[in-house]
Amino acid sequence: MDTTSFAERDGFIWFNGELVDWRDANVHVLTHGLHYASSVFEGERVYDGEIFKLTEHSERLIKSANILGFDLGLTVDEINQACLDTMHANNIVDGYLRPVAWRGSEMMGVSAQQNKINFAVAAWVWPSYFDPEARMKGIRLQISDWRRPSPDTIPTQSKAAGLYMICTLSKHKAESDGFDDAVMLDYRGRIAEATGANIFFTKDGVLHTPTPDCFLDGITRRTVIDLAKARGIEVVERIIMPEEMADFEECFLTGTAAEVTPVGAINDYKFTPGTICQTLIEDYENCVRRKVPA
């Protein structure tokens, strides 16, 4: 993996309508998105030169922006094309794309009615989100002290930058304590998700996953649910309380970055990656590589 600072890489970034040199894609220090989190983004994977579920990601980006009260001024097709142009300009065959939109620096303060809406897309080669060796035996998670907030306190159905502050705090704490990531409960004490991925459990051949009423219903999450149903695996979306983890057999995370990642432990709760995990890992790989319909 390239360890060069992300500010000092070679390549091109789509920036407000054109491809510019990577190092020239800069914003002012008084950008509203930096100070007040008026920014939305997407994370997308490239497999064999194709962006997986590109249109769904572009649609969600527009929805997130609208929830935060700004209009990108772009159609889904225009966002798609910007992503494709960025991918091709950087010769990405297998990698990651980051479309991002934010309010600019025309006004400084909480109010930003006249601020320009900026849009950029970056792309780079990116391997597995978790260490491959740890991933195969199941990663270790810690239950975070931070909780997913209520939908009436923050726009939980947007993929907005501000929602990830507590994710960074949770993941840093977990890593400092020797874990790979963290599981977050919601404001009611129910299991919600990991810091950047949705979560699934199995029991007696049935797949259980939390109802996404205060966190994103991930695109990878929906893909894996469809793959499981195609296999005849029953999927139950419901309230899941932390103490139920004592009775679950398998656990895994899903997300654009995480893909399908088995979990071996959450605090003192133990899981054994088994048939369902392995099946869905293989089915997801076949799906993103276009060996089976998406």
Rounded Cα–Cα distance for residues 154 and 149 (Å): 7
Strands 12-15 and 117-124: antiparallel
Options 159, 173, 229, 270, the catalytic residue? 159
Rounded Cα–Cα distance for residues 108 and 110 (Å): 7
Rounded Cα–Cα distance for residues 278 and 273 (Å): 7
Rounded Cα–Cα distance for residues 24 and 212 (Å): 38
Rounded Cα–Cα distance for residues 288 and 294 (Å): 7
CA distances from 133 to 55, 128, 139 (A): 32, 10, 9
Residues for the chain: how many in total? 294
Q: Which residues pair with 235 in a beta bridge?
A: 207
* 159 annotated active-site: yes
Catalytic residues: 159
